[in-house]
Amino acid sequence: MDRKNKIHLFFRCILYVSAIASFILSAKKINLDSSQSLITFVVFVLACTLIGNMPFSMKNTGDIDLSDAIAAFIFILYGTETVVFFTSIFAVMVMFIREKYITKRNDNSKMFFNIAMFIVSARIAATFATAILRGFEITSFIGHVLYSIGFIGSFIFLNVLIIKIDSNLENEKKFVLDRESNQLLGVNFVISSFVAVSLSQINSTSKMIGALLVLGNLLMLHYCFHILRKIKIRNESIKGLIKITGDIVKYGEFREKCKHLITNMKDLIPYTICSIYTFDVDNDGVTYPVAYDGPEGIGIGDLSIDLSSSAVTIKTIKEGKIYISNEISRDKKVKFTGKFSDAINVAIIVPVLIGEKVVGSIFICGKKNLINFTANGIDDLLNILSNQMALAIENDGIYRDMKNKADIDSLTRLYNRRVLDREIENLISTNTQFSLVMYDIDDFKKVNDSFGHLAGDEVLKMVSDIVRKSIRKTDVACRYGGEEIIIIFKDLSKEDACVISERIRDNIEITSTLWSGGNIFVTVSGGVSAYPQDGRTKDDIIKIADDILYTQCKKMGKNRVCAYQVLEESAVSKDHI
């Protein structure tokens, strides 16, 4: 542990010890000598607990709760020891309920830190206000004003100071509040001070009954603001969703719809990784995202989904309901591995259904701040998004069927060479990045010579079937000629294309064709090239893949996938979600 971490740990230990000591001292000296005082204390603890778990917003960047005002009132009414004990009890209740049942973060470190911070701040603020304002009569109007302002101002200042010190020590950089946060603290200070003075004055004139009536009205007002805040957040989310939906309708090609969907969702949802999948849940194998966005170092291979019936995550997707995992490391209904699991803590899985059949999924994954988004009741929004995505998938399928009926090779059910030429030319004309792999079945002539051409046709259909099931909806697989197959990977780097190509090669190697009571096993070799880095024309890109196929694969032992300027065999992780 380095020096900075030791200082941070020492600071937290001092904070925790101070909080425990303050609680013990206040518990011994608490002044609740009548049943009325005890009932008042309990009522205000419960009120603070409610207020703390339903804050209202005055700005887009933060929330306000009026627990400071009630703590100031308790301080004026009963003194320093009682307000420290009061703060200890309601802070524990608020933090426990919020962390365990509302945000469901289960972040014990943050919870203990906040509780200790509130207790220590209450002790120092009450002591400071008492020492500075000792000459003013606490029961007078001026006394109520000064003691309320002194306690609340000190309490807010100390909370901010403790957070700044802790953050500076933990993150090794200066913690600075932005302008809107400072404005929010100012508004909180003014409102809380006004409420504390009002409660104190009413209690002086109408006794506790008046104060409790004011408290009841305060709770109702606070609840109304809380509901208004949630409506505001929901309306903002709907506005963002309308933009996203508009882009789903606007952009014609399915791949473009998915890309713009993910881009726009960044403004709506604080995700770290977002990926969109289409697949057939009845097929085993592996599927890859049609489009994705994530931090540097996360590639398409890290985001693959295992579709086999024994895989955990696909079972959850097949349930057809939105699933939110607040802590993936402990969740048995999802399984993330490798770099994917290291990058996220929270996952939202949104299945996409056509009728009752799951045809795809949207993964929205992030850190613990994503929980704040899920806590606002977003199921309806995600259901709308899922329905729009289902409509886009369905329309894309209809469009493809109509457009490509004459473009399918009758034997392999892959696209023919005319589609290959058209797709590559379209991508080059729009300067769209793509990669392609050219496969050739190793020793295919021996299969025909040994088993006959009908057996060769069955082998070719088996290989094509694996290819068709292994690629994304937006990729294009074509029969180039004889036993050669080309796959166009739209918007994929050469590295990502190698990941998928290698897994296809591996699947072909372990799959056999049943013929005349026996099994025929074959392997394939593949050459990968990419536009624009490897060539600027269709012929250049195909020729480079073809050259790599024969010089680096066929002549080097076959049954391998190689990329242009990458001489070694692709090293591919086989971890799945």
Task: Name the catalytic one among 81, 99, 458, 483.
Answer: 483
**CB of 16 closer than 8 Å to CB of 119:** no
**CB of 464 closer than 8 Å to CB of 453:** no
Residue indicated by tokens 């209904």: 333
Residue 80, token pair as written in the block: 């320093």
**CB of 484 closer than 8 Å to CB of 438:** yes
Decide if 568 is catalytic: no
462/468 Cα distance (integer angstroms): 10
Strand ranges across the sheet with 273-278: 291-293, 273-278, 357-366, 346-354, 323-325
**How much is the CA Rg of the chain, to the nearest whole Å?**
32
Task: Output the CA–CA distances (angstroms, integers) from residue 259 to 106, 244, 421, in the order listed.
Answer: 34, 11, 24
86/69 Cα distance (integer angstroms): 13
478/274 Cα distance (integer angstroms): 29
**CB of 223 closer than 8 Å to CB of 53:** no
Q: Would you put residue 563 in left (φ > 0), alpha (ψ -120 to 50) or beta?
A: beta
- Torsions phi, psi of 563, nearest 5? -110, 155
370/368 Cα distance (integer angstroms): 5
384/271 Cα distance (integer angstroms): 18
Please, what is the angle between helix 179-250 and helix 35-52, to 10°? 40
**CB of 68 closer than 8 Å to CB of 188:** yes
89/146 Cα distance (integer angstroms): 25
- How do strand 346-354 and strand 357-366 relate by DSSP bridges? antiparallel
Amino acid letter, 501: S
Amino acid letter, 306: D
Residue indicated by tokens 């090779």: 409
553/437 Cα distance (integer angstroms): 12
Q: What is the DSSP letter of 368?
A: T
Handedness of CA 87, 88, 92, 93 (dihedral sign): negative
Residue indicated by tokens 């991508």: 427
By residue count, the chain amounts to: 577
Q: What is the DSSP letter of 570?
A: P
| H helix or E strand, kind and range, residue 484 | strand 484-490
Query: Which residues belong to the active site?
Result: 483
